[in-house]
Structure 1
């Protein structure tokens, strides 16, 4: 029923500017979270990962609900967990508009939003004030105008604010839309950053009596050797898992010329092969027991099963919902539970 309704509504939604459609969707869900329940009961397929109990393996990737405005609604759509952000210490408007572009034929999106958000303080207050209906992750980054050599200060500030509230925290060093951010994936810069974060997290755990898992989100555009270095650094420097992957700056064949020329990160179906390759490389490097969340181009039961087979413990969606509609998370969670493709 939900899918049929979305199919009928999609032509109207796609007439809107992509960012406006996104903005309206999140605010509508935030205003009426109970309405999300008409899609059906959330799928219960419990899994233990990161020391947490997830309702099912299907999560919402960061970027959809940047400011934690609609977490309850997304939980009621059937997600087993929701990741908000990316959040920065100070509010920032992001990059100039237009900055979000659909390629409907390729089932892809290019974005150069640039960590537009109202700041981590506002988001944490919002999370603290609402009942928790699923596992919630908080994705953190640096402000655009923070020099790369001082980036650790931004991550530490966000870690301090989110540690007691988030179920897990994701360190985003892989978005292509903040100048210099991906430089933090270079080996020495990454080691310094991860050591700083790990030390602060242990201090917070001692002070608060609880240890919040911290994950590292990586890019799909790195060579195998770089992927292996990042995986080993994350494991050795105290991270609890990886997210594979962020968007890509590659432009695979099949994109429309008009969209392909836009700067920014590509997500959706064309990202899937790159994300899957990176996942397999990371899994080979860090071993079978290190948690990895797979994300990028997952839009069907077959794709979800394959990403789990490739080494993901959990999966996340974003662009798939744009093209498949709000019934997708429950459909995928049900398929993973029942092993139906």
Structure 2
């Protein structure tokens, strides 16, 4: 109940500013907030995935901490892993504000952020400064001004720089808020991307004697035929995992509600069934050869279990944390 009181106050503030203030608050040293929420320590429920050992199945999704500034704070919430980013080779301001909108009756969020971040070098410095010893995933993307035909180079630059500091690397080719980015999920562009990032991974593995898994983050707006195609290519190129899914451009479930007309990707409860269905299709076609990280609309113990039942090995939350607070993390971990 305490969090829902805090949420009422936060929801009086513009969403992007509320997000920033919340993270800043969590970062304050010697704060007793975590003791309030966690009188009992969250149990360790280790699981292996991608060759890595995770403390538990639940992670913080990309987008919560774009620049890796709050890794230590997020780790105290009990997450089994933290995915930071999306980060690009060069800093960029992203799309014009306002760019985050709440769909409160449906526990949804529409965002059109556009990969606003301080760049890969800044992220590396923040990871170095953190004292978190758990799994850190780094979600990477392309800069806005990079032509789509040349965008693979942006991913290779980021992989090269972050390789020694990431537990795994997530390739974001599915955000709806960067023009033409989703084209990288199709045809020759997709195959070329997979071939080149896998080649880069092999080179760096040999150079550093360290294997860093690579996951591909896909859209929830793909057809069954497209998902079958993607599954075949992920297996062919021996990609380490797939993250399903990013936000959706389908706003039909929130039609008529306040802010439903805003442009951008929709996340939260309206995405729940769609992302779970994507996981089910992937699971059937990947045939246990490639693990799935499920994300999209997890707002309860039941919805977390549904993702796992559908084929996800690991799961992540973002919007659920906004609407239900830190206790949701503890509840999910305790029950799965």
TM-score by length of 2: 0.96
Matched, 1:16 2:9: no
- Number of residue-to-residue matches in the alignment: 333
Q: Which residue of 1 aligns with 2:295?
A: 295
Q: CA RMSD in A?
A: 1.3
For each residue in 1:222-277, what CA deviation from the matched residue of structure 2 results, as whole angstroms up to 9, or x when unmatched?
11010111122122113101000000000133444432211100000000111011
Gaps of 5+ in 1: 337-341
Q: Is the 8 A contact 1:86 1:141 kept in 2?
A: yes
Q: Which residue of 2 aligns with 1:268?
A: 268
Q: Is the 8 A contact 2:268 2:296 kept in 1?
A: yes
Matched, 1:72 2:69: no
Partner of 1:77: helix, strand, or coil? coil
Deviates more, 1:36-45 or 1:324-333: 36-45
Distance 1:224 1:207, change over 3 A: same
Q: Is the 8 A contact 1:33 1:76 kept in 2?
A: no
State how far apart, in whole Å, the 2-side matches of 1:321 and 1:218 are: 21
After superposition, residues 201-212 of structure 1 pair within 5 angstroms as: 201-212=201-212
Of 3, 24, 27 in structure 2, the residue corresponding to residue 30 of structure 1 is 27
State how far apart, in whole Å, the 1-side matches of 2:86 and 2:254 are: 29
State how far apart, in whole Å, the 2-side matches of 1:21 and 1:247 are: 20
Deviation of 1:33 after TM superposition, in Å, equals 7.8
Q: Which residue of 1 aligns with 2:314?
A: 314
For each residue in 1:138-195, what CA deviation from the matched residue of structure 2 results, as whole angstroms up to 9, or x when unmatched?
0000000000011011000100111111000000000000001001011211000111
Q: Is the 8 A contact 1:106 1:255 kept in 2?
A: no
Q: Which residue of 2 aligns with 1:160?
A: 160
Q: Is the 8 A contact 2:75 2:132 kept in 1?
A: no
State how far apart, in whole Å, the 1-side matches of 2:120 and 2:3 are: 32
Distance 1:280 1:236, change over 3 A: same
After superposition, residues 21-100 of structure 1 pair within 5 angstroms as: 21-32=18-29, 35=32, 37-38=34-35, 39-40=37-38, 41-100=41-100
